[in-house]
Amino acid sequence: MAGMLEVRNLSKHYRRDDGTGVHAVDDVSLSVAEGEFVSVIGPSGCGKSTLFSVIGGLVGDYEGDVVVDGQVVRGTHRDIGMVFQEESTFPWRTTLENVAFPLEVAGMPKAEREEMARRFVRLVGLEGFEDRYPSELSGGMKQRTAIARTLAFSPKIMLMDEPFGALDEQTRMLLGDKILQIWRELKQTTLLITHNITEAVQLSDRVVVMSFRPGRIKEIIPIDLPRPRSSEIIATDQFGRYVGAIWQLLREEASRGMVEAENV
């Protein structure tokens, strides 16, 4: 079955100026079907973010192929939209102007793009904050602005790199619900990168567990939980079993990462 997004034998080495190198991603192959929600989870330093940057076209000079809807792509691509881990809203633009940014870049007339941006602002639950600047918003609201902005780009594939990484646990759970609600509505193919097991199980159809450096796929776990889901599902036994199984897989990798970090 040909997926919406296919990663074929992807490897990426980073070379440093002193001649040493880091083997960040090693021979990763992954197929994501249209409308599927897949999470990639792994310990710090497993190459998750590198994988994200390569698929998004922000990092070049890699081996293997990224295939979107049957086409091999290099560089940034119209069908791939990204949400970054760090704060990425433009501080000089209001919420509405931030969300309208990709439409403005594409040359859409002002009235039209504002109307469309308003729809996505509502979708992420920020109505009433259209004219606020990022400095007046909380971290969670800024991340929702960034998510709305990428949704307004209308990509076929949403790539999210730990979009809630910098947020507190409660905000993270509520935003997870929001993401699920939006995903149900738009049925976008979504790839979420995370190091949070609960988040991965709560949101995904499949969870890809990666090994510590060089980043390889250790195992892919289908999450067979009923949808629609909400954050309440984390209290069920079945949910707990998935979390436990993934933690088993991750623990070994995470300790390898820790040992290496301490020896540096």
Partner 1 sequence: MAEVSLERVTESERAGFLTTELRIQIGTILGVWASWEALAQSGLFYRDIVPSSLRVFAAMWRHLTEAEFYHHLGVTSYEVLVGFAIGSIAGIGLGILFGVRRFLGRVMDGYILALAPAPKVVFLPILMVVFGIGVGSKIAMAALSAFFPVVLSTVAGMHLINPTLIRVGKMFNASPWQMVTKVYLPSLVLPVVTGLRLGLGVAIIGTLVAEIKLAKAGLGFLAIQNYELFRIPEMYSVIIIIFALAMGANAIMTKLTDRLTQRGMPKVEVSGAA
For 5, list phi and psi in degrees, rounded to 5: -125, 125
Residue 153 CB, nearest approach to partner 1 (Å)? 6
The reply to whether 209 sits near partner 1 by the rule CB under 8 A is no
Instruction: Find the binder of partner 1 among 37, 120, 153, 164 (CB under 8 A).
Output: 153
Instruction: Find the binder of partner 1 among 37, 84, 120, 164 (CB under 8 A).
Output: 84
The reply to whether 247 sits near partner 1 by the rule CB under 8 A is no
In the numeric block, which tokens belong to residue 110? 């002002």
Instruction: Tell me the C-alpha distance between 249 and 261, whole Å.
Output: 19
Residues 6+ apart with CB under 8 A from 137: 95, 129, 145
Place of tokens 């190091």: 195
The reply to whether 261 sits near partner 1 by the rule CB under 8 A is no
Neighbour count for residue 261 (Cβ, 10 Å):
11
Instruction: Tell me the C-alpha distance between 264 and 153, whole Å.
Output: 41
- Return the residues of window 169-198 that contact partner 1 according to CB under 8 A: none
The reply to whether 251 sits near partner 1 by the rule CB under 8 A is no
Instruction: Find the binder of partner 1 among 86, 168, 185, 232 (CB under 8 A).
Output: 86
Q: Which is nearer to partner 1, 92 or 247 (CB)?
A: 92
User: H or E stretch including 183?
Assistant: helix 169-186
# residues contacting partner 1 (CB under 8 A): 25
Residue 5 CB, nearest approach to partner 1 (Å)? 16
- Return the residues of window 48-67 that contact partner 1 according to CB under 8 A: 56-58
Q: Which is nearer to partner 1, 90 or 247 (CB)?
A: 90
Instruction: Find the binder of partner 1 among 15, 74, 78, 241 (CB under 8 A).
Output: 78
- Return the residues of window 88-127 that contact partner 1 according to CB under 8 A: 88, 90-93, 101-102, 104-106
Query: Cα angle vertex 171, ends 149, 53, to 5°?
Result: 45
Q: Is-cis flag, bond preceding 163, omega within 30?
A: no
The reply to whether 14 sits near partner 1 by the rule CB under 8 A is no
Instruction: Find the binder of partner 1 among 20, 71, 135, 263 (CB under 8 A).
Output: 135
Interface region with partner 1, contact rule CB under 8 A, candidates 83-91, 120-128, 193-201, 214-222: 83-91
Q: Which is nearer to partner 1, 85 or 181 (CB)?
A: 85
CA distances from 157 to 51, 54, 104, 244 (A): 15, 14, 20, 29
Q: What is the CA radius of gyration of the chain?
A: 19
CA distances from 19 to 13, 15, 22, 209, 213 (A): 12, 7, 10, 30, 18
Q: What residue ranges bind partner 1 (CB under 8 A)?
A: 56-58, 76, 78, 81-82, 84, 86-88, 90-93, 101-102, 104-106, 132-133, 135-136, 153
